[in-house]
Amino acid sequence: MSERIYGQARVDGITVILYLILVICGFLSIYSSSHGSESFSFNLSTQYGKQIIWITASIVLGTVLFLIDVRFFEVFSYGIFGFWMILLFLVIFLGREVNGARSWFAIGSFRLQPAEFAKFGVALALSRYVSDIDTDMKSRRYQIITALIIILPIALIVLQGDAGSGLVFLSFIMVLYREGLSGSILIIGLVSIAVSVLTIAFGFIPIAAGLVVLGGIISAFVYTNIKVFRWLWIILAGCILFSKGVDFAFVNVLQEHQQKRIQVMLGIIEDPQGLGYNVNQSKIAIGSGGFWGKGYLQGTQTKGDFVPEQHTDFIFTSVGEEFGWIGSTTVIVLFVLLFFRISFLAERQRSKFSRVYAYCVLSILFFHFLINIAMTINLAPVIGIPLPFFSYGGSSLISFTVLLFLLLRLDANRENELDSLSY
């Protein structure tokens, strides 16, 4: 062991290969959805032309990371976090409004979305804080600061009017779970989501009544055990209170278009021409792909520009239409392989910072992957977040690349880390 501790580890080739495959598939999909009917020409003013620039820039930046001292990011993690928080704050006032959200800086033709890069800053800050040797995980102070690191960017992004991008940070719960957060919190989270959805779908009264009936039925079996009986009703009472709260928040806090969006997603209202238009077209494009797909560049819905925002948030529709179920499943499997690899990399880190950071990367990528694909097939509400490595756009591609390549940088250096930093 000892002679390898200070040895030089190599860049993880499997991750790089998976990354390249996904980026190339993404480029091909963007080409398909934006090439028009003219034959291929290398034209940098087109969307696929620009994407080539972004891909090149991403790879260059990813490589540059390897030239920077590996300690830099850990040392300056709070500084990087602070920098992006300031930008997130400024964009509220200085940003250009696009689709009702003020989340873009525009300088000439160059546009930058700080929310994309903020993920990187938050991931670093969270890793640094959680892995800090002084941090006492059991203390209330630790828990509050951890929560603040996550909630601050969410608040700023929600203020920009881009609630969808803000939700991404909730995925860090996965990191916290890995680092010891009680599993019951996850269960509470899942029960909360279930109660929320049911309340919005059916209203407070039926849910409350249903919970009482459920409690009555269970009581019939457990009334002999006074302790279980008591807890049962405490939990049910909590659920009913929570349901009332959700009902109140849904009606009084959310704006009408947000309510509608959620209702459309839950299938409570049909709206194929309005809010549901994108999803409807997206489902038609994907659904018409069949088992084998219509063939590359043969998608009728893709060619006819039927799916709005196809090259960005709805890029998966191009895969679904032209490569069918086989292609969609292949892409999903590729992502899952990447996630497994990241999880594997995470677990082999000696430094806690590296491990926490790896899980941050995993949770961000997984959340984007899950919500993006789910929204194209109407399993999640349409929140405008991109599919990592696929969707058109410099900000998101560069940010995801930097996020992943820093992990590779840390991983390549893992043997130089002190064992004692991890447990």
Comparison of 152 and 410: residue with beta carbon closer to another protein = 410
Q: CA 316, CA 280: separation in Å to the nearest integer?
A: 14
Residues 6+ apart with CB under 8 A from 160: 88, 91, 92, 95, 101, 102, 103, 115
Stretch that binds another protein, among 8-16, 68-76, 103-111, 339-347 (CB under 8 A): 339-347
Position 300 contacts another protein (CB under 8 A): yes
Stretch that binds another protein, among 58-66, 69-77, 303-311, 400-408 (CB under 8 A): 303-311
Stretch that binds another protein, among 14-22, 117-125, 215-223, 365-373 (CB under 8 A): 365-373
- Selected from 47, 135, 259, 343, the binder of another protein by CB under 8 A is 343
Pick from 390, 418, 422, 383: nearest CA to 164: 383
Position 328 contacts another protein (CB under 8 A): yes
- Selected from 83, 177, 229, 296, the binder of another protein by CB under 8 A is 177
Structure tokens at 382: 């349409």
What is the per-residue burial (b if ≥16 Cβ within 10 Å, else e) of 138-169?
eeeebeeebeebbebbbebbebbbbbbbbbbb
Relative to beta strand 110-112, strand 101-107 is: antiparallel
Position 301 contacts another protein (CB under 8 A): yes
CB of 226 to another protein, least distance (A): 32
Position 274 contacts another protein (CB under 8 A): no
Q: Mapping DSSP to helix (H, G, I), strand (E, B) and coil, where does residue 103 land?
A: strand
Q: CA 335, CA 26: separation in Å to the nearest integer?
A: 12
Do residues 322 and 388 lie in contact, with contact meaning Cβ atoms separated by under 8 Å? Answer: no
Do residues 384 and 165 lie in contact, with contact meaning Cβ atoms separated by under 8 Å? Answer: yes
CB of 283 to another protein, least distance (A): 6
Position 366 contacts another protein (CB under 8 A): yes
Alpha carbon dihedral 45, 46, 52, 53, in 10-degree steps, equals 30
Do residues 340 and 313 lie in contact, with contact meaning Cβ atoms separated by under 8 Å? Answer: no
Position 325 contacts another protein (CB under 8 A): yes
Comparison of 152 and 342: residue with beta carbon closer to another protein = 342
Position 419 contacts another protein (CB under 8 A): no
Position 196 contacts another protein (CB under 8 A): no
CB of 287 to another protein, least distance (A): 2
Q: Mapping DSSP to helix (H, G, I), strand (E, B) and coil, where does residue 344 land?
A: helix
CB of 72 to another protein, least distance (A): 28
Stretch that binds another protein, among 7-15, 16-24, 341-349, 412-420 (CB under 8 A): 341-349
Using the Cα atoms of residue 112, residue 113, residue 118 and residue 120 in order, give the sign of their dihedral. Answer: negative
- Selected from 228, 370, 412, 421, the binder of another protein by CB under 8 A is 370
Give 301-304 contacts, CB < 8 A, sequence gap 24+. Answer: 302/32, 302/33, 303/37
Q: Which helix (H) or strand (E) holds 409?
A: helix 394-412
Stretch that binds another protein, among 22-30, 228-236, 256-264, 370-378 (CB under 8 A): 370-378
Stretch that binds another protein, among 17-25, 191-199, 210-218, 369-377 (CB under 8 A): 369-377
Question: Which parts of this chain interact with another protein (CB under 8 A)?
Answer: 37, 174, 177-178, 283-291, 300-301, 303-306, 320-321, 324-325, 328-329, 332-333, 335-336, 339-340, 343, 346-347, 359, 362, 366, 370, 373-374, 377, 379, 423
